[in-house]
Structure 1
Amino acid sequence: MSQIIENRAAWISEKGARPFKIGPGPAPNPAENEVVIKVAYTAMNPVDVVMQENAPLELPYPFVLGVDLSGTVVALGSGVTRFQVGQRVTGHCDSLLTKKKTNSAFQLYATCLEVLVCRVPDSVPLVNAAVLPLAVDTASTGLFSILKMPFPVINPKLTGRKILIWGGSSSVGSCAIQLAIAAGLEVAATASSKNHEYVKSLGARHVFDYNDPDVIKDITAVLQPGDLVYDCIGGDQVRATCTEILQQIGGGTLPTVRWFMPTETGDVKLEFVNGLLPGLVDTSIGKAVWGNYITKALEMGKFQAKPDPYVIEGGLEKIQDGIDMLKKGVSAQKIVVEIAKAA
């Protein structure tokens, strides 16, 4: 670690504290199976807003937040076999599970578990790659853990089933559309009318305006019994709409992304999608998605790093601005803060 002169981080001193305070960061010494990454970009996620404002998880304050990053590998822990120093990567930092400050993205140098990191091909800018980690993992949890779909491959066999992705232009929805196609599903999706072409560019075959008063009727005319629904937006109204759609095609399991108490409504079982799921590490999902698919798919143009980033320059001092902008809402974009100039 001699090449690392100094780490700095955006600290939160206690629940609800703002703005983040910039100061010396934790020494990023890698544990077994960890990769140390010099952070070029970090993306803002709703969980970052929640953890700053009311932190439903207990954290050892002062703490460093941040889930998504992209950058360059600078050191390897024991047991790491997939990476070399100098490689461009994107990674999912899991400090909300580990409670380790080093496993957070809002700092100059961060550590990530090898299984939650993937190499970024030269054809993909690091700023674009930063939008992927949590969105990919949340999409993967819903598709492969809850709905038990086949893992994504470059040339999938068609399953004969369709899936509705509610919220196709969202960060999670953008990844879910592409991963579902790579799992052999035909995709229908909802989006506002201005984002229809964007959602189609990701591979959705059927696109519906969620503001259309006939949207439920139009969607159920396309879906059949045995088809699937994935709520990538969450909230009471969207959950109710997706539940009604699933009921009309015979029921099933509805993954939904915003926290609620799991429940059953008739023949529909609702399950919260935890994109921080330990199972991404403990099961084969992380390996199948990050290890075997994403890099190759990015290289071949089979997977796009979407949505496009909205970039805020200025380093760690701009993390709070990024969080505040996310709270105001963005459409078909993901807010990314430039931490250091990418080589």
Structure 2
Amino acid sequence: MTQITDNKAAWLPFEKAPALEVGPGPTPNPGENEVVIKVAYAAVNPTDWIMQDQPYAHPQYPFIIGVDVSGTVAQLGSAATRFEIGQRVIGHCDSLLTLKATNAGFQHYTTCREILVTEVPNSVPLANAAVLPLAIDTASTGLFKHLKLPFPSVDPKPTGKTILIWGGSSSVGSTAIQLALAAGLTVATTAGAHNKAYVKEIGATHIFDHKDPNVVQEISKILKTGDVVFDAIAVEGSQKACATILHNIGGGKLPVVLWPVPIEYDDVESVFGMLQTLLISVVTFAYTQDAVNGLDPGLVDLDIGDAVWRKFLPQALAAGKFQAKPDPEVLEGGLEKVQEGIDILRKGVSAKKIVIEIAKHD
């Protein structure tokens, strides 16, 4: 295996540094179950500006952030036999678990776990594909771990259930809508008036304006006992609205993408469904608060990663049954544009995802 010696990266030089610095990157050396990706595009996520402004992991600085990448396979570990050199892929970088800069996204070459990499068909532009990895894992954790939905399929069997996904035009919401459909559920969602057509396009059947003062009552009317709720926004207002809706239909678990707020219903259990994704970016592990505080995470179940990344995504992307949504807003200019992308996202975006063109790609 030829050693890669020309890596470059956008480094976070010290804790709460106001700007990233571009310089030589670490030399990749894949383990047996790892894939080295030559990065074409990297998406920006809230984890990135949070890590810059108020880090929740404790890496040694300088450090590299970034979790979503698309590109081509550059090197393979001995057991990563699903892939070929040069193959188009997306990968979910888990540097917030390993605390190794080699596993981060904002560099020319990154190293990912094989189970968090999947092939991308030629029909899907790599810039679009880069929006997917973190959103896939975040949504999958809530849907398949906590809500125990059937694993997704390109030919799902109807379950007779409806899911409310609060915030369907967000990155996680867009992915959750499609995964829930692939699990055989009917989807209800909330969106602003300007995003109603968008969430309908990706599969939502019932669409509600989250600004409607009667939205909780209106949503409750179309749900029944046994239906489920997922909060892809998880601000205080959305969590309380989702909790009330879930209480109205008999209670249950409420996965939320940020820390749960106190709720007034004994029959509703808010769960930080994205613990393993928001903090450490791996869907195949489950973590307790102790793990976040520095203890070793325990391997709980590889079934979700296998079902989603190895089995469903390759088929669904190739068949056009899973879309890379929301659309990317691409910033050209390489690693020097990463900080600009983080700053844009920090201010807020709607129904799109900021993606950096890391390197020119055929």
TM-score by length of 2: 0.92
Distance 2:67 2:225 in 1: 37
Distance 1:255 1:126, change over 3 A: same
The 3-state SS of whatever aligns with 2:313 is helix
Q: Which residue of 2 aligns with 1:213?
A: 213
Structure 1 residues 243 and 131: CA distance shift in structure 2, 3 A: same
In the TM superposition, what whole-angstrom CA distance separates every residue of 1:270-323 from its partner, at most 9, and x where no partner exists? 001222464525421111001001121111111100000000010001100000
State the distance in 2 between where 1:149 and 1:277 align: 21
Identity of aligned residues (%): 59
How many angstroms does 1:135 deviate by?
0.3
Which residue number corresponds to residue 341 of structure 1?
A: 360
Query: How many angstroms does 1:199 deviate by?
Result: 0.2
Once residues 287 and 264 of structure 1 are traced to their aligned partners in structure 2, the CA distance between those partners, rounded to angstroms, is: 37
Give the corresponding residue for 1:156.
156
Is this contact kept in 2: 1:314–1:339, CA < 8 A?
A: yes
2:304 alignment partner, one of 275, 285, 306: 285
Q: Which runs of 4+ in 1 moved over 4 A?
A: 261-264
2:25 pairs with 1:25 = yes
Alpha-carbon deviation of 1:259?
2.5
Aligned residue for 2:190, secondary structure, equals strand
Q: Match of 1:323?
A: 342
1:236 aligns with 2:236: yes
Which amino acid counterpart does residue 205 of structure 1 have in structure 2?
A: T
Partner of residue 289, structure 2 = none
Q: CA deviation at 1:86?
A: 0.6
Are the equivalent residues in 2 in contact too, given 1:141–1:277 (CA < 8 A)? no
SS at match of 1:265: coil
For residues 271 and 262 of structure 1, what CA distance do their matches in structure 2 show? Answer: 11
- Aligned partners of 1:94 and 1:263: how far apart in 2? 32
1:174 maps to 174
Deviates more, 1:103-112 or 1:295-304: 295-304
Alignment partner of 1:297 is 2:301: no
SS for the counterpart of 1:105 is: coil
Residue 179 of structure 1 aligns to a residue in which SS? helix
- Letter of the aligned partner of 2:139 in structure 1? A
- What is the TM-score normalised by the length of structure 1? 0.97
Structure 2 distance, partners of 1:26, 1:77, is 17
Give the structure 2 partner of residue 224 of structure 1: 224
Give the partner amino acid of 1:252: G
- Which piece of structure 1 moves more, 277-286 or 241-250? 277-286
Measured after TM superposition, the shift of residue 180 of structure 1 is 0.3
**Deviations for 1:60-102, whole angstroms, at most 9, x for unmatched residues?**
2111100000000010012111101010000100000011110
Quote the residue 2:197 is aligned against.
197
Task: For structure 2, list consecutive stretches of 5 or more residues without a partner in the other structure.
Answer: 286-298
In structure 2, C-alpha distance between the alignment counterparts of 1:155 and 1:116, rounded to whole Å: 23
1:111-131 CA deviation, whole Å, 9 max, x = no partner?
Answer: 000000000001000000000
Unaligned runs of 5+ in 1: none
Q: Let me know the Cα RMSD of the aligned residues.
A: 1.4
- CA drift at 1:137: 0.5
Cα distance in structure 1, aligned partners of 2:61 and 2:85: 31
**Distance across 2 between alignment mates of 1:265 and 1:286:** 33
